[in-house]
Structure 1
Amino acid sequence: MRPVISSPSSPLDFRGVRRAYDTVAEDYATHLPDTRAEAPLDLAMIDTFAEAVTSDGHALVLDAGCGSGRMSRYLTERGCLVRGIDLSPGMVAMARRDHPDLVFTVGSLADLPYPDDRFAGVLLWYSTIHTPPAGQARVFAEAARVLRPSGHLLVGFQAGEGTRDVSGAYRRFGHEVHLERHLYTADQVAAEIEAAGLREECRLVRRARGRERDDQAFLLARAH
């Protein structure tokens, strides 16, 4: 099998990331069908987000970087009306297969195909990790653009500094892909959120557990 290269030629060139996830989509959906990978603290942050979004009666949520749809299902079960979007057509195909009652679209987080002020909430659950530093501002600006006034944003990511090669996680399933993820500190992500015009409400940073290599961080923010 030919290697799938995910090193972008420019900050917003995600063609390699798309090819990588198209390649691994079926195995990803099979081995990560639900929230079994999340710690109770992780899910507590999502529960807080869902409660905030549904409390004012406007429960339309964008699962931005939805992958195979597992978090879309989790949010739906908590009263949210979810729309999922992902860069990878292969992942969206898995989401549509496994969650046929939900709506999923192929698209880029750097150029969301939605009007301004569309959603009461935007979830970026480990979906900014393949975006290099130069592209972070664009992704958060788009998330802020589609949020309604007083809408909520929740971001989940591995916390730290530098870049990690995560190709090995898929090599054990027979996929020769090359995929990197970027680490950011909670302060760095908070600064990007603030620059996009949102206000941080709370954050949680927990230590790595099990086979995790890095701390995990979650930031909840609100539009003005």
Structure 2
Amino acid sequence: MNQPIRKHILLLLLILLSTVSFAQKGDAILILKDSSRINGYGTISGISSIMAIRFKNDTLKYKKYKAKDLIGIDVLENNYYRQFRYKYKDGAKFPELLEIVSIDSLSLYVRIYEGGVISNSLSTEPAYVIGNIPKQTITLSNGQEVEIGQSKNLYREILFPRYSYYVGHGQSDHVDHLYTKGLPFAKSFEKSMMEYFINCPRLIEKVESNEFSNDDLLSVLEFYNRSCLNLE
């Protein structure tokens, strides 16, 4: 098979994957524009390029919510909340729903494109806990109390993975594209890191020496926040 044909097949596969529907649903917390939080049952559904949030509880009818009404939604999965927030990517006019990987001076978000349920690519085990963070519990709709752990989301390889990672300062509504994994002809990991973190030679050295790879983006952000910023 020659190179042009292989390229067309790969692009066709990506197009097909981007049109497959998926859903993330469960006990959830809806976060309104005024930062108030409502407990209930939520669903994130749609296709990879257009996602919709639906939500209900004892007083709210099951309805579709738009970005103008919400900051985002937290959905319970395996005793951990997955946190989704509306963000403006690269100065776009309309926000899109991204999942929080870590919140810090420079925060990391991810957008997953795949042909299945998005939770298939998520490990919801706690990476580690910094300091003495008190345990938290929530009460599910069936009355069961569940302990909520403190974790950072870690993503695993799946068939034809495509992850787009974004970074933003603190909890800013605006984020910039950092790196896309799994897209043919996309900018390489090394080039993406060298361009974005040009002001941190120590980080660039680690990328060039292969101490950081495209599986280590969380470590890259943690190193940048601890070693490249003027933090007290």
Q: TM-score range by the shorter chain?
A: under 0.3
- Please report the TM-score for the alignment, with normalisation by the length of structure 2: 0.25
TM-score (structure 1 length as normaliser): 0.26
- Give the number of the structure with larger relative contact order, counting CA–CA contacts within 8 Å between residues 6 or more apart: 1
- The structure with the largest helix share of the pair is 1
